[in-house]
Amino acid sequence: MNIRVAIDIDAPPAVVWAAVEAIENHVDWMADAEAIRFTSDERRGVGTAFDCETKVGPLRLVDKMRVTEWETARVMGIEHRGLVTGRGRFTLEPIGAEGTRFTWTETLTFPVKMGGAVGAIAAKPVLTQIWRRNLRRLKTIVEDRSE
């Protein structure tokens, strides 16, 4: 399953990055992320590993993740290594003089016990809607900070 959502934020990439690089604060803008626990000594950069307690409707799981890409104010990539596997990526592109296009892409594989490919088809519109709402929350947080 592939999902791509994006939003334009009225703040430069460095300001958006300041909100995104703090992985422990992703619970502030990701409605589906209930708690984040680091499983590595690192808290920033490639190699950072963490467990994210995730809840979507009645479904709960611990998403085991590891940061695979880290380009300050440009890219954060992660690998999902738990029950759901795959890769995710945040990209920040400058737009205009003071804006950022924030794009979130995910390529995920659901296990058989979650319906496999059929489960992914059913989950895609739900996750897309949740992640769009998450990006609106991020936009509000960043724009409120930069005022």
Instruction: State the average pLDDT over residues 46-74.
Output: 94
Helix (H, G, I), strand (E, B) or coil at 31: coil
Q: How many percent of the chain have pLDDT more than 90? A: 79
**Residues 94-134 pLDDT 10s:** 999 899 999 999 999 888 888 888 888 888 998 999 999 99
Cα distance between residue 110 and residue 84, in whole Å: 5
pLDDT of 147 above 80: no
Cα distance between residue 60 and residue 32, in whole Å: 9
Q: How many percent of the chain have pLDDT more than 70? A: 99
Instruction: State the average pLDDT over residues 28-40.
Output: 96
CB 21, CB 138: distance < 8 Å: no
CA-closest candidate to residue 3, choices 70, 80, 73, 94: 80
Please report, for residues 18, 65, 97, the alpha-carbon distance to residue 84 in angstroms, rounded to integers and kept in the order given. 28, 10, 39
Sheet containing 49-56: order of strands: 2-9, 99-109, 85-95, 75-81, 59-71, 49-56, 33-38
Cα angle 139-29-15, degrees, rounded to a multiple of 5: 45
* Total domains in the fold of the chain: 1
Mean pLDDT computed over every residue of the chain: 94
CATH number for the domain spanning 133: value is 3.30.530.20
pLDDT of 146 above 70: no
Cα distance between residue 26 and residue 75, in whole Å: 15
Domain limits for position 87:
2-145
How confident is the model at residue 7, as a pLDDT?
Answer: 98
**Residues 10-19 pLDDT 10s:** 999 999 999 9
Cα distance between residue 71 and residue 93, in whole Å: 12
